[in-house]
Amino acid sequence: MELTSQDAAQELITRRKVRLCLAEWARHKGFEPAKHHLLIINEIESFLKSEDEVLLLFAPPGSAKSTYVSVLLPSWYLANHPTKSILAATHSVEFAERWGRRVRNDIANDTKTLGIELARDSQAAARWSLASGGEYYGVGAGVGISGFSG
């Protein structure tokens, strides 16, 4: 299917919006951020632009912290920093694999939109890399992380 120049321009606009704004990436993935989600997103984006070393987000269960921080943020961050590494630590290997698989699959499905692609040998759910050198490593409690330079 051949794109019209208008469709191509719209695709470029979508790509730019998604890469610049985590809320736009969320919308692209089918989420409509509520006000408290926008607050979380704003804090994340501000933190990433700052020199601060730690960001703590506290919110009640069911407020979509995992969706925005563990599922949407890693792919969006890697789109903007394709040579960086992410260490995603959680209380269980099951969560690490589930979230790692979702992030990996989002990148595979939205390669053109994000402007990044998985390395050809990246099949694992919780540990994979980008063709550009960036990495993702998801671990559960008790898993050793030595040798990972995130």
Nearest to 136 by CA among 93, 90, 91, 84: 84
Contact 80, 130 (CB under 8 A): no
Q: How confident is the model at residue 136 (pLDDT cuts 50, 70, 90)?
A: very high
What pLDDT does residue 41 have?
A: 97
Using CA atoms, how far apart are residues 113 and 17, in angstroms rounded to an integer?
A: 10
Per-residue model confidence as pLDDT tens digits over 82-113: 999 999 988 888 888 999 999 999 999 999 99
Is the pLDDT assigned to residue 77 strictly greater than 70? yes
Across 30-54, average pLDDT: 95
Digit-coded pLDDT (tens) for 4-38:
889 889 889 999 999 999 999 999 999 999 999 99
